[in-house]
Amino acid sequence: MTRAADLEIGIHRRDGQTYVVEIRLLPPGADEEVRPDSGSMQLDLGALRGESADDKYGELLGGALLMDDKVRGAFANARAVADAADADLRVRLLVGPTAIELHTLRWEAARDPQKKNTLFTGEKLLFSRYVSSNDWRPLRPKAALRAFAFIANPSDVAKYSLAPVRVADELAGIKTAFGSAVETLAEGGRATLSALLAALREGFDVLYLVAHGRLIKGEPKIYLEKEDGSSDVVAGTDLVARLSELRVRPRLIVLGSCQSAGTADQQIAEGYMTALGPRLAESGIPAVVAMQGTVSMDTEAMFMASFFRELQRVGVVDLAMSVARTETFIAKRPDWWMPVLFMRLKSGLIWYIPGFGEAHQLEKWPSLINDLKKGRCTPILGHGLTDSILRPRRELAQKWADSYHFPMAPYNREDLPQVAQYLAVKQNLRFPRDMLISDLQNWLVQQYGANLPQASQFEGSATGEGLDQLISAIGARRRESDPNDPFRILANVPVPVYITASPHHLLFDALKAAGKQPREEFCRWNRQLEGLPSLKEREPNYTPDPQTPLIYYIFGRLNEIESLVLTEDDYFDFLIGATKNRELIPEDVRSKLANSGLLFLGFQLEDWDFRVLVRRIVDQEGGNLRRRYTNVAVQIDPEEGRIMEPEGARRYLESYFDILDISIYWGTADDFAADLLQQIAKPAA
C-alpha cells in the first residue's frame, strides 16, 4: 500500500468571485490531522476561460489558489512533511456544493507563477478531485479483479462530424496491462446500453468505456450503438441512472472520449465530460476517470497504456493517474491535463492482498492448522460468511429504513439492530421478525428462483422453517459448484464445537454432506424459550466430538423465531442474561470459549454480534488458557466510504485484537477459506 501524507483542499464560495480555501493535512502514519488552516481565493472565471495558452491559464489558476500566504504556506508545509517522511503527498480537491462552477476548471494544469512549475504533477504527488457519496462497495482481492472494455464505434459517426474510433488502439493499453482479466463484447456484438448493463451485472471491477461525447443543449451525451450499428445518443443522466440501479457496480470507471465535437474551451466552460464524472462518483462509483476536453487519440492512447499498466501493478488509482499524467506531460502532449480523476477512496486502492499482517504472514498458519486438525480450535461464524449468497444485513437495514422512515442519522440506516429496534417500537415486537422472514424469502426467490424449481413454494411463507429450507437449497448448489465454499471447508476439519451467530442451517447441511452427525442447540436467552427442551435433556449422554459435533446458535435460529437476537434491546437482554446466569450457555460451549483457540469468521468490528460476543468472551472465566492456542479474526480491510480514515481504523483493529492475543487475517471469509484449504493440503514440514 502506498504510504502517503493526505492533504485535502476544500473550496467554497464566500461571495461574488471570492472563495474560502480550507486546508487539512494528515501526516503519514498519524491518527490526528495537523490543525486545519484556511485562506481565501479570488477567481476571474471570465479571464480564465478566455485564456487559450495552457501555461498562462495554469499560472492564472495556480496564482489564484496560492494568493493567500496561509494557503501557500500550508501547501509548502504539506510537501515538506511528505518529503521528510519519504512519502507521497496525496492531494484531494474538494469543490463544495456552493462552488460547482469550479468543477469545470483545469485544476490539473495549475502552476505556481513564482516557481513556474506545475502544482499537481509528479509521481510523488497523487492528485484527485474528491466527490462524496453515501454509497459504498467493499474491496476485492487482487486475484479476482475483473475489467470490462466497452467500445462504441457507430457506423454513422461521420454524419455527426466525428471520426471513427480506433478500436485496436483503444484496447491495446488495457489488454496489455490486464491480460486475460479484461473482457470485451463478443465478436459481432453491438455496444448498446443494454449490452453494457448486461455485462456489468456479471460483476466487473473496472469499466473502460470509450465513446464519442458531445454537449447538446447543456446536457452531456455519449454515442453508443443501436442493434443496427447506427448511433444511439444516450443522455449522461440516463447512463448514470442505469448504472446506479445495478446491484454490483464497478469500483473504477474510465471514460475515454475520442475527438469529441467542439473546442476545449467550450467543453471546459460548460462542463461536458467533467459533469458526468462527478455524477457517476456521487451515484456510488468510487473512482471515475473522465476527459475534460477534446482529448486527442494519441494522447489518450499514451495515457491509457501507462495508467492501466500502473493500476495493475499497484492497484492505487491516483498513483496510476499520477504516473500516466507525468508521462504525457514529459512527452509534451498539449492536452496532457485533460484526464481528470474524481475519487472518494481515501487510500486510492481498488484491490487488496489477503493474508495475515506482515509480521505474522508466515508464522501463524502452521499453528492454526495444527490446532484445527487436533480439534483445539473453535470456529465462531458471523453473518458475513453468507454475504456472497444471501442479502447482506446492511442492505436489509437500508431497505427497512427507507420503507418505514427511519429518522436517525444516515450512518445508522445500515445498522440492522438499530433499525429493527425502531420497527419494534413503532410497530410491535413481533414485526421486525416477521419482516426479516418475508423480506429475505422474497429477495432469495427473486435472485435464485430461476435456478431453484422449488423456490416458489417458499414465497410468502410466514415461518422461519420455509426460509431455512430455501437457504439450504441455495447452499447445496454453492457447495456443489464452489470447492472454496467456507461451510464445506469448515465441515471437513475435525472440530467438536462450532458457534454461529447466523440463524440458518448451512453449516448443519455441510456437516451432514461431509458424513457427520451434528447436533444443534440454541441459547435460551428470553422467557419465551425457557420451556423448550434442551439438547442435554434430549440426549443426556451426548458429548461433542469431531464426528458428532455441536452447532451452537448463540443468537437464535430461524425455526425458533422467538430465539432470534435482532433488536438493540435483544442484544442487551442477551448480554445481561449471559452475565447473570453463566449456565445460560452450555458447559461444552463455555469450556471451548475458555480453553481452545478461537477463529472469528464473517464479522466486522462494528457488528453488534461481534461486540457482544467479544464482551462475553472477555468476561469468560479461564480465558487466560486461550493464550496457549492460536486465535484468529478474519476482517476485511476497513471499507472505503464507511470509515473516515481506513488506515487509522486498521491500526486500531490490530491494537484492539492484540490485547486479546488475536491475530488478524485481512480479507474476506471466502479469501480465508481458499487459503485455509491450501494450507490444510500442504504436507507436514
Report the CATH number at residue 190.
Answer: 3.40.50.1460
d(CA 457, CA 445): 9
Within 8 A by CB and 6+ apart from 44, the residues are 17, 60
d(CA 229, CA 226): 5
Alpha helices, H only, 246-316 = 264-270, 272-282, 297-314
Comparison of pLDDT for 103 and 68, the residue scoring more: 68
Domain that residue 110 falls in: 4-120
Cell numbers 492501466 correspond to: 308
Q: With contact defined as beta carbons under 8 Å apart, do 148 and 199 qualify?
A: yes
Confidence class of residue 395 from pLDDT cuts 50, 70 and 90?
A: confident
Q: Which residues of 372-389 are buried (b: 16+ CB within 10 A; e: fewer)?
A: beebbbbbbbbbbbbbeb
Q: Is position 404 within any domain? A: no
Asked whether residue 536 carries a pLDDT value surpassing 50, the answer given is: yes
Per residue in 597-609, pLDDT (tens digit) is 889 888 876 778 8
Does 347 lie in the same domain as 370? no
Percent of the chain with pLDDT over 90: 37
Task: Identify the DSSP state of 205.
Answer: S
Does 548 lie in the same domain as 610? yes
Does 179 lie in the same domain as 317? yes
Does 387 lie in the same domain as 535? yes
Q: With contact defined as beta carbons under 8 Å apart, do 127 and 341 qualify?
A: yes
| Total domains in the fold of the chain | 3
Q: Is position 456 within any domain? A: no
Does 215 lie in the same domain as 69? no
Which of 21-25, 35-39, 355-359, 659-663 shows the lowest per-residue confidence on average (mean pLDDT)? 355-359
Helix (H) or strand (E) run with residue 571 in it: helix 568-580
Q: What is the pLDDT of residue 260?
A: 34
Highest mean pLDDT among 144-153, 443-452, 664-673, 675-684: 144-153
Does 93 lie in the same domain as 166? no
Q: Is position 475 within any domain? A: no
Can you tell me the mean pLDDT for 655-663?
69
Q: What is the pLDDT of residue 264?
A: 41
- Of the three residues 333, 352, 371, the one that is the final residue of a domain is 352
Can you tell me the mean pLDDT for 454-466?
63
Does 115 lie in the same domain as 195? no
d(CA 557, CA 502): 7
Cell numbers 463544495 correspond to: 96
Q: Is position 423 within any domain? A: no
Task: Identify the DSSP state of 628.
Answer: G
Q: With contact defined as beta carbons under 8 Å apart, do 223 and 189 qualify?
A: no
Does 175 lie in the same domain as 86? no
Can you tell me the mean pLDDT for 302-310?
91
What is the chain's mean pLDDT, rounded?
A: 83
Q: What is the pLDDT of residue 60?
A: 93
Percent of the chain with pLDDT over 70: 85
Can you tell me the mean pLDDT for 527-554?
92
Does 370 lie in the same domain as 347? no
Instruction: Give CA angle at 317 (315, 323), nearest 5°.
Output: 100
Q: Which of 552, 613, 526, 558 is nearest to 436 (CA)?
A: 558
Can you tell me the mean pLDDT for 630-648?
60
Asked whether residue 653 carries a pLDDT value surpassing 50, the answer given is: yes
Does 316 lie in the same domain as 180? yes
Comparison of pLDDT for 333 and 582, the residue scoring more: 333
